[in-house]
């Protein structure tokens, strides 16, 4: 009984946790090179990703979603905040201690064209992680693993000797996925992973990611500006605006019962698929531009564009539980 409970706990507990992640980049420096103003790329971003699930991250371009992914993978060192991986705090680790986690956490980039070195053959690109972490004892073992990864990702092993320009866009993204899988990771950040592809190819790549998730028990952070894709692939979602999370919850609850005025506007801009949706859909047009991340509005950051903004929105809104497993940061729910 205890064993079963322990197993259940291990399967369901939060696998990855971000606590108060903040990333400020210098915007301007004085004559001595000291920063005098900062870009608030991400502020106080907290979330949890359960094992084997997908957390979708949505928001307009510049909202901080890619910055969050890069902080998780240590590409950016957070200005403040903590990252926990199966209970271990990664942010406090020395580079050598962090190395095993680099192997377990990988990235699939947005652009399958620029992220592949045109001078390398597909097999060598896929083997990058195998080489970096010395995961093959011999050349034969390396070749075998590359062939296995190519097959898993829907590529022909005979293509291992081809260069990136000899592949289509979809095939290049399959190479990127195979490269990410080479270290046998548990967690993958997919940063706009299908945005550069045609719609029909997008569906194939999304299905491949889902199949791989089932097969290998992968956990994804899926960053995208395309809400329909995020809806299809995600179990949970966070909505970001100007460096902050404004709404979070299980995908279906947020989709069915959008609470934050920004989330409503964002979803209203996605194309409707069914006749019923088309009939009921009203596009919410937001006035004004996204404010500068160098000087974001005080209080609610969305207030300069929110149709419901009032005086009290000049103060920082608190989180409210709209329903079980669904939270919003907006004063309308005070």
**Least spacing, CB of residue 222 vs ligand SF4, in Å:** 25
CB 265 to ligand SF4: min, Å: 10
Instruction: Give contact residues for ligand SF4 (rule: CB under 6 A).
Output: 260-261, 300, 302-303, 306, 308-309, 313, 317, 330-332
Question: Looking at beta carbons only, is 296 or 317 nearer to ligand SF4?
Answer: 317
What number of CA atoms fall less than 13 Å from residue 231's CA on the CB side? Answer: 15
Smallest gap, in angstroms, from Cβ of residue 40 to ligand SF4? 17
**Which residue's CB is nearer to ligand SF4, number 156 or number 308?**
308
Residue 276 buriedness (CB in 10 A; 0-12 / 13-18 / 19+): exposed
Residue with Cβ nearer ligand SF4 (181 or 238): 238
The distance of closest approach from Cβ of residue 289 to ligand SF4 in the complex, given in angstroms and rounded to an integer, is 16
**Is the separation of the CB atoms in 318 and 299 below 8 Å?**
no
Q: How far apart are CA 307 and CA 214, in angstroms?
A: 42
Minimum CB separation of residue 90 from ligand SF4 in Å reads 32
Residues written for the chain: 334
Q: What angle, 0 to 180 degrees and rounded to 10, lies between the N-to-C axes of helices 169-181 and 199-216?
A: 20
The separation between the first and the last C-alpha atoms of the chain, rounded to the nearest angstrom, is 43
Q: How far is the CB of 324 from ligand SF4 (least distance, A)?
A: 21
Strands of the sheet containing 105-108, edge to edge, are 105-108, 187-191, 219-223, 54-58, 236-241, 244-250, 326-329, 319-323
Smallest separation, CB 328 to ligand SF4 (Å): 8
Which CB, 212 or 306, lies closer to ligand SF4? 306
Q: Shortest gap between Cβ of 333 and ligand SF4 (angstroms)? A: 8
Nearest to 260 by CA among 296, 315, 308: 308
53 or 303: CB nearest ligand SF4: 303
3-state DSSP assignment of residue 190: strand
Q: What is the CA radius of gyration of the chain?
A: 21
Give the number of other Cβ atoms within 10 Å of residue 227's Cβ.
Answer: 21
Q: Which is nearer to ligand SF4, 56 or 261 (CB)?
A: 261
Q: Which is nearer to ligand SF4, 201 or 309 (CB)?
A: 309
Measure the CA–CA gap between 151 and 126, rounded to whole angstroms.
Answer: 12
String of DSSP letters for 113-145: TTTS-TTS-HHHHHTHHHHHTT--SSHHHHHHH
Nearer to ligand SF4, 70 or 260 (CB): 260
């Amino acid at each position: 009984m205890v064993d079963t409970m322990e197993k259940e706990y291990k399967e369901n507990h939060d696998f990855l946790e971000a606590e108060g992640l903040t990333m400020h980049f210098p915007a301007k420096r004085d004559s001595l090179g000291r920063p005098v103003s900062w870009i608030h790329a991400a502020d106080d971003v907290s979330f949890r990703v359960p094992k084997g699930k997908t957390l979708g991250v949505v928001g307009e371009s510049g909202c901080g979603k890619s910055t969050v992914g890069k902080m998780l993978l240590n590409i950016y060192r957070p200005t403040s905040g903590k990252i926990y991986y199966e209970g271990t705090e990664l942010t406090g680790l020395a580079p050598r201690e962090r190395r095993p986690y680099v192997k377990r956490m990988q990235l699939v980039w947005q652009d399958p064209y620029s992220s592949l070195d045109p001078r390398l053959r597909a097999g060598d690109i896929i083997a990058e992680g195998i080489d970096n972490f010395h995961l093959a004892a011999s050349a034969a073992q390396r070749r075998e693993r590359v062939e296995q990864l190519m097959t898993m990702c829907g590529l022909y092993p005979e293509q291992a000797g081809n260069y990136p320009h000899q592949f289509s866009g979809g095939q290049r993204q399959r190479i990127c996925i195979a490269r990410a899988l080479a270290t046998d990771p548990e967690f993958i950040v997919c940063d706009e992973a299908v945005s550069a592809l045609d719609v029909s190819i997008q569906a194939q790549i999304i299905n491949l990611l889902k199949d791989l998730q089932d097969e290998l028990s992968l956990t994804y952070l899926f960053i995208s500006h395309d809400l329909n894709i995020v809806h299809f692939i995600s179990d949970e979602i966070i909505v970001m605006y100007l460096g902050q999370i404004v709404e979070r919850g299980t995908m279906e609850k947020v989709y069915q019962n959008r609470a934050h005025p920004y989330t409503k506007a964002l979803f209203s801009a996605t194309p409707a698929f069914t006749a019923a949706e088309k009939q009921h859909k009203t596009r919410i047009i937001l006035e004004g531009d996204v404010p500068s991340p160098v000087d974001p509005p005080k209080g609610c950051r969305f207030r300069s564009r929110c149709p419901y903004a009032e005086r009290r929105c000049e103060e920082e809104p608190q989180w409210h539980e709209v329903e079980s497993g669904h939270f919003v940061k907006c004063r309308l729910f005070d």
